[in-house]
Chain A
Amino acid sequence: MDETMDREVIKGSALLGVVAAVAGWLVPGLGHLILRRWSKAAVYFLCIGGLAFAGLAMRGGVFSFGAEDLFDRLGFFADLGAGAFYFLAHQIQSAGPDVAHATGDYGTRLFAAAGMLNLLTVLEAFDIGQGGQEK
Protein backbone atom coordinates (compact mmCIF):
# COMPACT_ATOMS: atom_id res chain seq x y z
CA MET A 1 0.00 0.00 0.00
CA ASP A 2 1.21 3.49 -0.79
CA GLU A 3 1.69 5.41 2.43
CA THR A 4 1.57 8.83 0.82
CA MET A 5 -2.22 8.78 0.57
CA ASP A 6 -3.01 7.61 4.08
CA ARG A 7 0.07 8.39 6.10
CA GLU A 8 -0.78 8.80 9.75
CA VAL A 9 0.46 11.97 11.31
CA ILE A 10 2.09 11.10 14.59
CA LYS A 11 2.96 13.49 17.35
CA GLY A 12 6.70 13.26 17.51
CA SER A 13 8.81 13.32 20.62
CA ALA A 14 12.42 12.72 21.52
CA LEU A 15 11.46 9.53 23.41
CA LEU A 16 9.51 8.13 20.49
CA GLY A 17 12.43 8.90 18.20
CA VAL A 18 14.87 7.04 20.44
CA VAL A 19 12.52 4.07 20.92
CA ALA A 20 11.94 3.81 17.16
CA ALA A 21 15.66 4.10 16.46
CA VAL A 22 16.62 1.38 18.96
CA ALA A 23 13.82 -0.92 17.78
CA GLY A 24 14.80 -0.32 14.15
CA TRP A 25 18.41 -1.10 14.92
CA LEU A 26 17.55 -4.35 16.70
CA VAL A 27 15.14 -5.59 14.01
CA PRO A 28 15.21 -3.90 10.58
CA GLY A 29 11.86 -2.22 9.99
CA LEU A 30 10.59 -2.52 13.57
CA GLY A 31 11.12 1.18 14.20
CA HIS A 32 8.93 2.05 11.22
CA LEU A 33 6.37 -0.51 12.37
CA ILE A 34 6.11 1.29 15.71
CA LEU A 35 5.67 4.55 13.78
CA ARG A 36 2.89 2.95 11.66
CA ARG A 37 4.84 3.18 8.42
CA TRP A 38 3.64 -0.22 7.28
CA SER A 39 5.07 -0.50 3.78
CA LYS A 40 8.43 0.95 4.78
CA ALA A 41 8.62 -1.48 7.68
CA ALA A 42 7.87 -4.44 5.40
CA VAL A 43 10.32 -3.38 2.70
CA TYR A 44 13.13 -2.65 5.15
CA PHE A 45 12.62 -5.92 6.98
CA LEU A 46 12.56 -7.99 3.80
CA CYS A 47 15.39 -6.18 2.02
CA ILE A 48 17.81 -5.61 4.91
CA GLY A 49 16.91 -8.85 6.67
CA GLY A 50 17.26 -10.71 3.38
CA LEU A 51 20.60 -9.10 2.67
CA ALA A 52 21.93 -9.92 6.14
CA PHE A 53 20.63 -13.48 5.96
CA ALA A 54 22.12 -13.94 2.49
CA GLY A 55 25.49 -12.67 3.73
CA LEU A 56 25.50 -15.19 6.55
CA ALA A 57 24.15 -18.01 4.35
CA MET A 58 26.98 -17.36 1.90
CA ARG A 59 29.32 -17.97 4.86
CA GLY A 60 30.56 -14.43 4.98
CA GLY A 61 32.87 -13.28 7.75
CA VAL A 62 31.49 -11.39 10.75
CA PHE A 63 33.84 -8.91 12.36
CA SER A 64 34.19 -9.00 16.11
CA PHE A 65 34.92 -6.31 18.66
CA GLY A 66 38.55 -5.66 19.47
CA ALA A 67 40.08 -6.18 16.06
CA GLU A 68 43.52 -4.65 15.68
CA ASP A 69 43.22 -3.79 12.00
CA LEU A 70 41.47 -0.49 11.22
CA PHE A 71 39.40 -1.97 8.39
CA ASP A 72 38.30 -4.82 10.64
CA ARG A 73 37.19 -2.28 13.23
CA LEU A 74 35.19 -0.41 10.59
CA GLY A 75 33.78 -3.75 9.51
CA PHE A 76 32.71 -4.43 13.09
CA PHE A 77 30.70 -1.20 13.23
CA ALA A 78 29.15 -1.94 9.84
CA ASP A 79 28.19 -5.46 10.93
CA LEU A 80 26.86 -4.22 14.26
CA GLY A 81 24.36 -2.09 12.34
CA ALA A 82 22.49 -5.28 11.41
CA GLY A 83 21.26 -5.50 15.03
CA ALA A 84 19.79 -8.87 15.96
CA PHE A 85 21.31 -10.48 12.87
CA TYR A 86 24.76 -9.63 14.23
CA PHE A 87 24.04 -11.19 17.63
CA LEU A 88 22.43 -14.26 16.04
CA ALA A 89 25.11 -14.63 13.38
CA HIS A 90 26.65 -17.74 14.93
CA GLN A 91 23.23 -19.43 15.21
CA ILE A 92 22.26 -18.59 11.63
CA GLN A 93 25.69 -19.45 10.30
CA SER A 94 26.22 -22.74 12.08
CA ALA A 95 28.96 -23.89 9.69
CA GLY A 96 31.01 -20.76 10.37
CA PRO A 97 32.52 -18.34 7.88
CA ASP A 98 34.45 -19.46 4.81
CA VAL A 99 36.09 -16.44 3.23
CA ALA A 100 38.65 -18.54 1.38
CA HIS A 101 36.09 -18.81 -1.41
CA ALA A 102 34.64 -15.95 -3.43
CA THR A 103 31.11 -16.67 -2.21
CA GLY A 104 32.16 -16.23 1.40
CA ASP A 105 33.91 -12.98 0.53
CA TYR A 106 30.72 -11.68 -1.12
CA GLY A 107 28.81 -12.74 1.97
CA THR A 108 31.09 -10.58 4.12
CA ARG A 109 30.29 -7.54 1.95
CA LEU A 110 26.58 -8.29 1.84
CA PHE A 111 26.36 -8.53 5.62
CA ALA A 112 28.30 -5.29 6.11
CA ALA A 113 26.09 -3.57 3.52
CA ALA A 114 22.98 -4.78 5.38
CA GLY A 115 24.34 -3.19 8.58
CA MET A 116 25.05 0.11 6.87
CA LEU A 117 21.64 0.19 5.18
CA ASN A 118 19.97 -0.53 8.50
CA LEU A 119 21.77 2.40 10.08
CA LEU A 120 20.28 4.65 7.38
CA THR A 121 16.79 3.39 8.16
CA VAL A 122 17.48 3.87 11.89
CA LEU A 123 18.29 7.54 11.24
CA GLU A 124 15.06 7.89 9.27
CA ALA A 125 13.02 6.23 12.04
CA PHE A 126 14.63 8.55 14.61
CA ASP A 127 13.75 11.56 12.46
CA ILE A 128 10.12 10.48 11.92
CA GLY A 129 9.76 9.66 15.61
CA GLN A 130 10.86 13.16 16.50
CA GLY A 131 8.24 14.57 14.17
CA GLY A 132 10.58 15.53 11.35
CA GLN A 133 9.83 15.62 7.65
CA GLU A 134 9.93 12.35 5.82
CA LYS A 135 9.96 11.07 2.27
Chain B
Amino acid sequence: MTSLFGRLNHFQALSFFALVVSLTFAYLSKRGLKARAQYALWAFLAFLLVAIGIGWLMYPFSQ
Protein backbone atom coordinates (compact mmCIF):
# COMPACT_ATOMS: atom_id res chain seq x y z
CA MET B 1 0.00 0.00 0.00
CA THR B 2 2.82 2.37 0.89
CA SER B 3 4.58 1.81 -2.42
CA LEU B 4 1.26 2.25 -4.27
CA PHE B 5 0.83 5.77 -2.94
CA GLY B 6 4.52 6.49 -3.40
CA ARG B 7 4.21 5.80 -7.12
CA LEU B 8 1.27 8.13 -7.79
CA ASN B 9 1.91 10.73 -10.45
CA HIS B 10 0.78 14.32 -10.07
CA PHE B 11 -2.62 13.87 -11.68
CA GLN B 12 -3.40 10.67 -9.78
CA ALA B 13 -2.51 12.33 -6.47
CA LEU B 14 -4.69 15.31 -7.39
CA SER B 15 -7.61 13.05 -8.35
CA PHE B 16 -7.34 11.07 -5.10
CA PHE B 17 -7.24 14.28 -3.07
CA ALA B 18 -10.24 15.71 -4.98
CA LEU B 19 -12.25 12.50 -4.50
CA VAL B 20 -11.83 12.15 -0.75
CA VAL B 21 -12.25 15.87 -0.02
CA SER B 22 -15.38 16.03 -2.20
CA LEU B 23 -16.91 13.04 -0.43
CA THR B 24 -16.15 14.47 3.01
CA PHE B 25 -17.59 17.87 2.12
CA ALA B 26 -20.70 16.20 0.68
CA TYR B 27 -21.33 14.32 3.93
CA LEU B 28 -20.62 17.42 5.99
CA SER B 29 -22.87 19.76 4.08
CA LYS B 30 -25.69 17.78 2.45
CA ARG B 31 -28.50 15.57 3.65
CA GLY B 32 -29.70 12.56 1.68
CA LEU B 33 -27.84 10.19 -0.57
CA LYS B 34 -28.86 11.84 -3.83
CA ALA B 35 -27.93 15.36 -2.72
CA ARG B 36 -24.61 14.08 -1.39
CA ALA B 37 -23.79 12.20 -4.59
CA GLN B 38 -24.63 15.23 -6.72
CA TYR B 39 -22.55 17.55 -4.56
CA ALA B 40 -19.59 15.14 -4.42
CA LEU B 41 -19.60 14.76 -8.20
CA TRP B 42 -19.87 18.51 -8.73
CA ALA B 43 -17.07 19.28 -6.26
CA PHE B 44 -14.84 16.53 -7.68
CA LEU B 45 -15.20 17.84 -11.24
CA ALA B 46 -14.72 21.44 -10.05
CA PHE B 47 -11.49 20.45 -8.27
CA LEU B 48 -10.15 18.82 -11.45
CA LEU B 49 -11.29 21.65 -13.73
CA VAL B 50 -9.77 24.39 -11.56
CA ALA B 51 -6.50 22.47 -11.10
CA ILE B 52 -6.12 21.83 -14.83
CA GLY B 53 -7.11 25.43 -15.60
CA ILE B 54 -4.52 26.84 -13.20
CA GLY B 55 -1.98 24.41 -14.64
CA TRP B 56 -2.58 25.75 -18.11
CA LEU B 57 -2.42 29.36 -16.89
CA MET B 58 0.97 28.70 -15.29
CA TYR B 59 2.33 26.80 -18.28
CA PRO B 60 3.82 29.86 -20.10
CA PHE B 61 5.86 30.77 -17.01
CA SER B 62 7.55 27.37 -16.98
CA GLN B 63 9.23 27.96 -20.34
Question: Are A and B bound to each other?
Answer: yes
Which of A's residues lie within 8 Å of B, judged by CB? 2, 4, 39-40, 43-44, 47-48, 50-51, 53-54, 57-59, 102-103, 106-107, 109-110, 113, 117, 120-121, 124, 135
Number of contacting residues on B, CB 8 A? Answer: 22
Would B24 and A103 count as touching, CB distance under 8 A?
no
7 extra A-B contacts, CB within 8 A, seeds A44-B24, A48-B24: A43-B24, A51-B17, A53-B5, A57-B1, A58-B8, A58-B13, A107-B5
**Residue of A48, A59, A103, A120 touching B20 (CB-CB under 8 A):** A48
Would B6 and A43 count as touching, CB distance under 8 A?
no
- B1-46 residues with Cβ-Cβ distance < 8 A to A are 1-6, 8, 10, 13, 16-17, 20-21, 23-24, 27-33
Q: Which residue of A lies closest to B26 (CB)?
A: A43
Would A54 and B27 count as touching, CB distance under 8 A?
no
Would B13 and A106 count as touching, CB distance under 8 A?
yes
25 residue pairs bridging A and B, Cβ less than 8 Å apart:
A2-B32, A4-B31, A4-B33, A40-B27, A43-B24, A44-B24, A47-B21, A47-B23, A47-B24, A48-B24, A50-B20, A51-B17, A53-B1, A54-B13, A57-B2, A57-B6, A58-B6, A58-B8, A103-B6, A103-B13, A106-B13, A113-B17, A113-B21, A121-B24, A135-B29
